[in-house]
A and B are shown apart, each in its own frame.
Chain A
Amino acid sequence: MSEAKLDGPEAKRAASTQTTSGETDEHIEAAWTNYGTDQETKLAVEDLDVYYGDEQALRGISMDIPAESVTALIGPSGCGKSTFLRSLNRMNDRISSARVEGSVTLDGEEIYQEGINLVELRKRVGMVFQHPNPFPKSIRDNVAYGPRKHGDIERGLLARLLGRDEKAAEDELVERSLKQAALWNEVKDRLDDNALGLSGGQQQRLCIGRCLAVDPDVILMDEPASALDPIATAKIEDLIEELAEEYTVVIVTHNMQQAARISDQTAVFLTGGELVEYDETEKIFENPESQRVEDYVTGKFG
């Protein structure tokens, strides 16, 4: 290979070949710099470190997540993308050994500050888990669970005695949430059946509906389709694309085709808890800056 040819992609490849052998450090700008659209930033992450005990799971992550779009987080197992997702609504607080340093702001407000209202934070930043986890209650109770517990809807014997029963409002909310979750037509005749009788895909859409019922701004999804068959997966993907018109969706996925299909921008985490590259999805999959990312998305590694 002659000197003259060392420019463009070729040059990059040469540079990062050295990197994988560990001789040179590769420095790819992963911050939110070259993103072309003018959407406002919903979540801004600044220099985020997460530790589990002595082990560091995330190293200095900085990225801005734009509103009303789908942001995909991809990377091999154990690279910290789920940890990152759980630090966006402070679900990591539930793990006693977890420690978070750095800053995450939601609409400009720091969520890792004293006196943060976790109830309000998690109402605004909802979450859908890898395995469908509806409560062992009726479909209606599942959807209405959040609003009832937050006192947004009053139900029950006492409310009925006081004449404040909001059955109509609840019916409306359940219908709206299930319609948004593309589940209404399948379950409208059996809202009082136990949710565990639904199929896996239906359960996952119910979980999305349950999350939508508390009216979040952001929906975090942790591999929401990994436990589902292709048809159920396709439905969830369609749903995510629809949701992105109103909500900010952040999704962790192992399935790179899925990330390519549904996301607007993609962040690639690689081993060691580092964010290696973050850009428009097209760019990540067609012309990534980093050789490691290219190896990963083309299946040469991971």
Chain B
Amino acid sequence: MSNVDRTALVAGKRTVASSLGSGLIAVAFVAFVSSWATIFQWLDETGAYLGFALFDLLGGLLVVFAVGLAVAGLASRYGYVTTTPSDTAGVPVAAVFGLIWAAVGGLAGAAYVGGPAWIVGAALGGLAGAGTAVLPREDVGSTLPAAALIGLMGYVVLFGQINTGWTWEPGWLSAAFPGSEVVPVLVILASLLAFWSGAKAKEGFGAQGRQAGVFYLIGMSILSMLGVLGLLILFITWNGLDVMLTGASLLGGELVVPFVGLGVPFPELPFVTNVTGGLFVEVPGVFPAIMGTLWLVLGAVALAVPLGVGAAIFLSEYAEQGRITQVVEVATNGLWSTPSIVFGLFGMTFLVPRLSGGNSIVVGQLVLGFMLLPLVLITSREAILAVPDEYRDASAALGVSRWETIKSVVVPAAMPGVITGVIIGVGRIAGETAPLLLVFGGQPFPSSTPNVLSSFTFSLSPPFVTNEALLQPASALPYQLYSSITAGVFPKEIFSDTEFGWGTALVLLLVVIGLYAIGIASRLYFRRKLDYE
């Protein structure tokens, strides 16, 4: 007889272990989802559901889960259900449980005994956690420490030690964490652990169980990440939507068709189309800031993309790979990580006196362009290096010169990568505030919009082309947000300063998403040209 364990070849059959495991995962999932719903405030933490207070329910779920998990582990250990556990849960698992239980033991020691007892508590807790995890067989080692921990958390929540009325005020932090926020977070952490051990129990431990445990854990982490993202976006929309839609109507506006002079009904959105300050504005809007942001992005892209792509082509196609290219690479990476306020300081002390004598659009464009340059250079270089050498060989073997090859084979093939870099960079500079405070921003509540296009004037003597509008300060969305918050008092009574800020934030979000959409569409266009599908 070999000592290799055999399991059923067909996995579809439902066993007692897998049914129990599925039930455990379902319980964990309910706790996980309702905790997120509590954080999103879809569930009321003081309300009652199914006749119980919400937190009592959550605590109860954890306790039920803990009991079920312990039963699953022990049933497997004593042979009541068929499983395939390994000899031990392994050292990494033991290390994690040791750390968690050391923290629990330390807290308990500090809370119930005081003084240096926390060290003893931590040591005992750590030893117990790690020992229980590593010494027994895997089915016990990966369920009992988890069940005890989850049960403890459930007990603490259920019997009110940490509940709605409780507030944690750690002395070393000038912050207070109310129970209404601590409990959902605790339950989410507990349910992540629950997913891992529940999934292991469901698949009968062993290699299958470890695979399932990790799979569920990663899946739930991704859900949590999406939850955080959704929370942010939802919060901005929630707070900003009313402000943005103030005075809006679907067909209340009028669009005058150029040349014909005929007015047609058009959607009206005063927050987006109005200026911010001024005497006769009923609903103050962010139109100057929108245009300011668009001009900034346009100028920065126009400066950074040709320079960055050109430098990337030179570095990867012409320059010998060696000391100098390495130095350039390190320097670009350094530039990319330089804090943006430093770029702002450079613009303020070097560019402003030379170009405009005061804050201006053109200096803002240059400074943001300098910030964008290293990213465009880095990503373009990567994209160009990723173009297979076979294309260059094929082109050279046809007698085509290096520059022609770059122009018609290498750059088109690298285009999707280049555009990806530009998209990321534009997202960053569109939201950039710090340097704009120093080189760009003007009045906090502008009453006019920079008129860049019609301000170009041409002359036959130097400087040939001038543009008064580019030399004036302006407003951009993040700058507008900052200035309306810091001004403290909003000039019109219709909004408070924070309300106006939330509206601005929502518009900024939409503008950035719009810029992304343009970028992604053009990337798709170039990629489709390269692919055969």
Residues of A whose CB lies within 8 Å of any CB of B are 89, 91, 94, 96, 118-123, 126-127, 129, 131, 133-136, 145-146, 149-150, 193-197, 207, 210-211, 214
Contacts and interface: CB of A to CB of B under 8 A. Distances in A.
Nearest to B405: A149
B394 A133 contact: yes
Contacts of A123: 398-399
A119 B395 CA distance: 11
B250 to A, nearest CB: 42
Contacts of B530: 136, 194
A120 B532 contact: no
A150 B409 contact: no
A94 B398 contact: no
Residue of B393, B398, B413 ringed by the most chain A CB atoms within 10 A: B398
B436 to A, nearest CB: 40
Interface string B386-428: 0010111111111111001000110011000000000000000
B320 A214 contact: no
A214 B398 contact: yes
B531 interface: yes
A94 B399 CA distance: 12
A129 B393 contact: yes
B531 A196 contact: yes
A50 to B, nearest CB: 17
Given A149-B404, A149-B408, A193-B532, A214 B393 contact: no
Nearest to B527: A136
Contacts of B397: 89, 91, 122, 126-127, 129, 211
Contact of B398 (A136, A195, A197, A210): A210
Interface in B127-182: none
15 contacts: A91-B396, A96-B320, A119-B400, A119-B401, A120-B399, A122-B396, A129-B390, A133-B388, A133-B390, A133-B393, A136-B529, A136-B531, A149-B404, A150-B399, A197-B533
Interface string B484-504: 000000000000000000000
Contacts of B401: 119, 149
A94 B532 contact: no
A94 B393 contact: yes
Query: Max chain A CB contacts within 10 Å: which of B397, B529, B531?
Result: B397
Interface string B512-532: 000000000000000001111
Contacts of A146: 398-400
Contacts of B413: 136
Given A149-B404, A149-B408, A211-B397, 13 more contacts: A89-B397, A94-B392, A94-B396, A118-B399, A131-B390, A136-B531, A145-B398, A146-B398, A149-B401, A150-B399, A150-B400, A193-B532, A214-B398
A258 B390 CA distance: 25
A91 B395 CA distance: 11
Name which of B388, B530, B532, B533 has the most chain A CB atoms within 10 A of its CB.
Answer: B532
Contacts of A119: 399-401
By secondary structure, the A interface counts as: helix
Nearest to B401: A119
Contact of B394 (A96, A129, A194, A197): A129
Contacts of B393: 91, 94, 129, 133
Q: Which of B390, B391, B394 has the most CB of A within 10 A?
A: B394
A129 B393 CA distance: 9
Given A91-B396, A122-B396, A145 B532 contact: no
A20 B299 CA distance: 73
B532 A197 contact: yes
Contacts of A96: 320
Contacts of B408: 145, 149
Nearest to A93: B396
A134 B532 CA distance: 12
Nearest to A90: B396
Nearest to B391: A135
A64 B391 CA distance: 31
A33 to B, nearest CB: 32
A214 B531 contact: no
A136 B413 CA distance: 7
A133 B399 CA distance: 16
A65 to B, nearest CB: 18
B258 to A, nearest CB: 29
A152 to B, nearest CB: 11
B28 to A, nearest CB: 47
A90 B58 CA distance: 76
Interface string B277-296: 00000000000000000000
Contacts of B391: 133, 135-136
Contacts of B399: 118-123, 146, 150, 214
A194 B398 contact: no
Contacts of A195: 532
Contacts of A94: 392-393, 396
A79 B393 CA distance: 22
Nearest to A198: B532
Contacts of B390: 129, 131, 133
A210 B320 CA distance: 30
Interface in B362-405: 388, 390-401, 404
B389 to A, nearest CB: 9
Nearest to B404: A149
Contacts of B395: 135, 145
A194 B531 contact: yes
Nearest to A195: B532
A135 B531 contact: no
A91 to B, nearest CB: 6
A126 B398 contact: yes
A133 B387 CA distance: 12
Nearest to A141: B408
B391 to A, nearest CB: 6
B339 to A, nearest CB: 39
B261 to A, nearest CB: 36
